[in-house]
Structure 1
Amino acid sequence: MKKMKFLTAGLIAAMMVPAAAQAQTREIRKDRQELREEQRDLRNAQRRGDRGDIREARRDVRDARQDLRESQRDWRRETRYQNYRAPFRYQQFRVGSTLRSNYYAPAYRPAWDSRWGVPRAGRNLTYVRHYNDLLLVKMRSGKVIRIYRNHFRWR
């Protein structure tokens, strides 16, 4: 009997996590819509209103932006570290080691390398994220050329 209650509680909890995530994205969508409406009201006030109307419309836009930022921050806080599981365990690679192709699949290749303060990947080279490490890998052979350890620190 206790086992059945425990399993039922676990099943209910597992079903509630996606529902909470959907509610947060719905809230973000609603906040974006409110921001657009407030911006439209501000434009209308600037066309036809007096100073008081414009000031009030600007205040409403500022409040709507703040609500949107808070909703996005809450969503990121909830989903960032939630249940991250890579298809493989962490392994420290060395320069010269060879990766299997699933380690440098497109899902693990960051698109923008200039933001992280690393030089651009050359011809037939790509950057690959492996947990917090950033690896420079030859595309054809899978050979590791350079390693940036702890390049992605969790903030």
Structure 2
Amino acid sequence: MKRMKFLTAGLIAAMMVPVAAQAQTREIREERRDVREERRELRDAQRYGDRGDVREERREYRDAKRDYRDEVRDWRRDTRYQNYRAPFRYQQFRVGSTLRSNYYAPSYRPTWDSRWGVPRAGRNLTYVRHYNDLLLVNERNGRVIKVYRNHFRWR
């Protein structure tokens, strides 16, 4: 009975982490939509409005852009993506290198998202974070397909 409760609690906890991440990305999408809407309203004011309308729409557009920037900054500062250190030393990998399976364990695989600015990994390929580098690895044999150096340094 205790084992069942433990498994249930673990499953609930595992399901809650993606929900928090989705909430943040939903907020970013909403902020982006607000920026587009304010830009559209500014264009309309510039075409058909007077100076007061244009001034007010510029202010609202600037505020929407600031809110969007703040939301993205908060999302990037999320504690899950800070102070990443692996339990092994840094090694500079090259295309064609072979990784041991502990290098591309699930805990080192960032979930694919548009924030990384890389294309979606194909079949039997996965992205692996190794310190500040992002590696595209073939899951079957551990061979490195592509290396993005200092990819996580841009924050």
> If the TM-score is normalised by the length of the shorter chain, which range does it land in?
0.5 to 0.7
Give the ranges of 4+ consecutive aligned residues of structure 1 lying more than 2 Å apart after TM superposition. Answer: 1-10, 89-94, 129-133, 152-155
Unmatched runs of 5 consecutive residues or more in structure 2: 100-128, 134-151
1:5 equivalent in alignment to 2:5: yes
How many residue pairs get aligned? The number is 107
Contact 2:45 2:53 in 1 (8 A): yes
- Secondary structure of the 2:26 match is helix
2:88 counterpart letter in structure 1:
Y
After superposition, residues 7-86 of structure 1 pair within 5 angstroms as 7-78=7-78, 79-81=80-82
What displacement does 1:85 show?
7.8
After superposition, residues 124-139 of structure 1 pair within 5 angstroms as 131=131
1:80 counterpart letter in structure 2:
Y
2:72 counterpart letter in structure 1:
Q
What displacement does 1:52 show?
1.4
What displacement does 1:91 show?
2.7
- Secondary structure of the 1:102 match is coil
State the TM-score, normalized to the length of structure 1.
Answer: 0.54
**Where does residue 90 of structure 1 map in the other structure?**
88
What displacement does 1:62 show?
1.2
2:98 counterpart letter in structure 1:
N
2:55 counterpart letter in structure 1:
R
Unmatched runs of 5 consecutive residues or more in structure 1: 104-128, 134-151
Identity score, percent: 66
- Secondary structure of the 1:16 match is helix
1:101 equivalent in alignment to 2:102: no
2:65 counterpart letter in structure 1:
R
CA distance in 1: counterparts of 2:32 and 2:66, whole angstroms = 11
Superposed CA deviations along residues 67-110 of structure 1, whole A, max 9, x for unmatched, are 1112111221225239x686xx523669xxxx98135xxxxxxx
State the TM-score, normalized to the length of structure 2.
Answer: 0.54
CA distance in 1: counterparts of 2:43 and 2:154, whole angstroms = 41
| Aligned Cα root-mean-square deviation (Å) | 3.7
CA distance in 2: counterparts of 1:49 and 1:73, whole angstroms = 34
Greater C-alpha Rg: 1
